[in-house]
Structure 1
Amino acid sequence: MSVIPDKPQAPFPDKPKVPAADQTLRILRFLAHQRGPVAAQTVATQLDLPRSSVYHLLAAMESHGFVVHLEGDRRWGLGTAAFELAGGYARQEPLARLGRPIVAQLADRAGESAHLAVMTGRDVLYIVEERAPRRPTLITDVGVRLPAHLTATGRAMLAALPREQVRALFPDAASLSAERTGRGPGRPRELRELLRQTRADGHATEDGEVTLGFRSIGVAVRDHAEWPAAAIAITWPEDAQVDPIRLADLAIDAAADLSRRIGRR
């Protein structure tokens, strides 16, 4: 007599008591693993959900900022509220705890101050700061938020995002209006060119846009889905005798180390 093998048990055998909540979380998780925005039909097909339900849920999430609808492309991507969740995760310490020894070692090797930041909306939030000996205190202290498009950490993360996502975050000149020293991109076209150069160089730079007299180099920290989970940067006084290429290499190595520790293959 043949024996029929037992059917494998599902990780969560009980049906969700709130199907809409379950479907919403599945959609968010699916979008988070994509390289860029996708069509609603793709979401429905991949998750085996009714298309009408997907549209209703996406509309609800859009009203709360968790997704954005790119009308011209007819695609959906994560919104700024999703970044807020990522920032909340970072504030609860796991990323900071993993990054702190790496940033400290980077500051020692570079002889300059180093920091770790995450994206939250259109800003970056600094979660680790290591000041090098005999270097002045920087504005980039833990808990400080600065406009992402002005900072090396923010530019590094923006350059690692899909271009459609950047357009959703910075659709017009008004979204780029925050400035500190009168420097930095003032139009979306200028930001796109800056990010193009960042991708070509493999790292971001900043020269006096945050604080006059200081420069920075930043590199994105990517997670298992190649999403920019954070960025590491080095900052130094512009009159310091440094080799920017060497500092960029050190930042790239540090970012790669942290990327591996958070699960990037």
Structure 2
Amino acid sequence: MSDKNTDATAYSVPPVERALKLLRHIGDGHKCGNLSTTSKELGINRTTLIRLIHTLEANRMIERIEGGAGYRLSVGLISLAAQAVHGRDIVQICQPILAELTHSTGMSAHLGVLDGTDIVYLSRETPNTHLVSNMRAGSRLPAHASSSGRAYLAALTDSAIREVLAGVELKAATGKTPTTLDAVIEQAHLDRAAGLAWSEGNFELGIGSCAAVILDHKGELAGAINVSGPESHFKEEGHNPDGPIKRAVLKAARKASAGLGHVTQAD
């Protein structure tokens, strides 16, 4: 176990860990209508679970659903989350860039960051069409399967990829999803060589995607920008390294990086 993990365990506060575990559980769509079932699912004593629910409800972190159907996240937590998201420079910088990217491609554009082994979307822009992405701010996707996650992993060393995904069950989203560490690293090599992650139905059948990373003023990974839309658009562009979708995404990523203070040699 690394020193970082040891320190995290030593300073962890169990009641807080349980409260966070419950909040994430509810945030994932579990309504916790049956407390006995929830207690077993989370490994939290039923009496402790009841106390946690009452405390979180009193502090407006969760609220009861009408008709006794359980609980959902409440305005108190939503307000905190909104403050956290809008307080991040990367969101403020990228929002107009996402809007410009959506306008130029006619597709949904997203900003994501790596959180553990997942990509979490912080923001998005959608075109005024009937076919738009269902990914919203707060949505989580497995890094090894999604285009933004693949772009992130491609920017890491092979050893760093192994560390990030150590002990993780690499589930398949489609038949194109790498499900072993070696396969993930092989995909990362291809994405690294291309300078972006390209998907033609890799994560969701019928949906294409393209992603590139954003770097901060230190040259470190800060996030990833992607667009997603009908797979047919991506098949048309195919392996053309200078296709319009690729150019637009790379331009947006460079602009976002510059906004965070990243300076390239060309600059």
TM-score category (smaller protein): 0.5 to 0.7
1:193 aligned onto 2:191: no
Q: Percent identity?
A: 28
Distance 1:204 1:92 in 2: 28
User: Which stretch of structure 1 is more off in the superposition, 150-159 or 131-140?
Assistant: 131-140
Describe the SS at the equivalent of 2:144. Answer: helix
- Cα distance in 1 for partners of 2:157, 2:144 equals 15
Distance 1:178 1:64 in 2: 30
Any unmatched runs of 5+ in structure 1? Answer: 1-57, 67-87
| Larger deviation, residues 209-218 vs 175-184 | 175-184
Instruction: Answer whether contact 1:113 1:135 (CA < 8 A) is retained.
Output: no
How many pairs were matched up? 184
Q: AA paired with 1:238?
A: E
Distance 1:64 1:249, change over 3 A: farther
2 CA distance for matches of 1:136 and 1:93? 29
SS at match of 2:173: coil
Return the alpha-carbon distance in structure 1 between the equivalents of residues 101 and 203 of structure 2: 21
* Equivalent residue for 1:224, pick from 210, 217, 221: 217
1:120 alignment partner in structure 2: 115
1:154 pairs with 2:145 = no
Question: What CA deviation, in whole Å up to 9, does each residue of 1:57-104 have, x standing for no partner?
Answer: x72x232569xxxxxxxxxxxxxxxxxxxxx97574321111000010
Cross-structure match for 1:250:
248
Q: CA RMSD in A?
A: 2.3
Kept after mapping to 2: 8 A contact 1:221/1:259? yes
Post-superposition offset of 1:162: 2.5
SS at match of 2:208: strand
Residues 1:63 and 2:6 aligned together: yes
For residues 116 and 158 of structure 1, the distance between their equivalents in structure 2, rounded to whole angstroms, comes to 16
| 1:202 to partner: Cα distance | 0.8
Distance 1:228 1:177, change over 3 A: same
With over 3 angstroms needed to count, the CA separation of the structure-2 counterparts of 1:141 and 1:199, relative to structure 1, is same
1:211 to 204, 208, 214: 204
Cα distance change on mapping 1:224 and 1:197 into 2, 3 Å: same
**Aligned partners of 1:91 and 1:127 also within 8 Å:** no
CA contact (8 A) 1:150 1:206 kept: no
Instruction: Look up the SS of the partner of 2:193 in the other structure.
Output: helix
Q: Where do 5+ consecutive residues of structure 2 fail to align? A: 10-82
Q: Which 4+ runs in 1 deviate beyond 6 A?
A: none
Match of 2:90 among 72, 92, 95: 95
Query: 1:216, CA displacement in angstroms?
Result: 0.4
Give 1:129's aligned residue.
Answer: 124
Cα deviation per residue 1:178-233 (whole Å; 9 max; x = unaligned)? 33334400111111111101111111112323321101010000112322110011
Distance 1:167 1:90, change over 3 A: farther
Three-state SS of the structure 2 residue aligned to 1:102 is helix
**2:230 maps to 1:237:** yes
> Is the 8 Å Cα contact of residues 124 and 145 (structure 1) preserved in structure 2?
yes
Secondary structure in 2 matching 1:239: helix
CA distance in 2, matches of 1:97, 1:116: 11
Separation in 2 of the partners of 1:157 and 1:116?
12
Query: Normalising by the residue count of structure 1, what TM-score does the alignment of the two structures yield?
Result: 0.63
Distance 1:119 1:183 in 2: 21
TM-superposition CA deviations, 1:151-193 (whole Å, max 9, x none): 1111111111222211101235xx2423333440011111111
TM-score, normalising length: structure 2: 0.63
Contact preservation (8 Å) 1:183, 1:209: yes
Instruction: Give the Cα–Cα distance (whole angstroms) in 2 for the partners of residues 97 and 167 of structure 1.
Output: 32
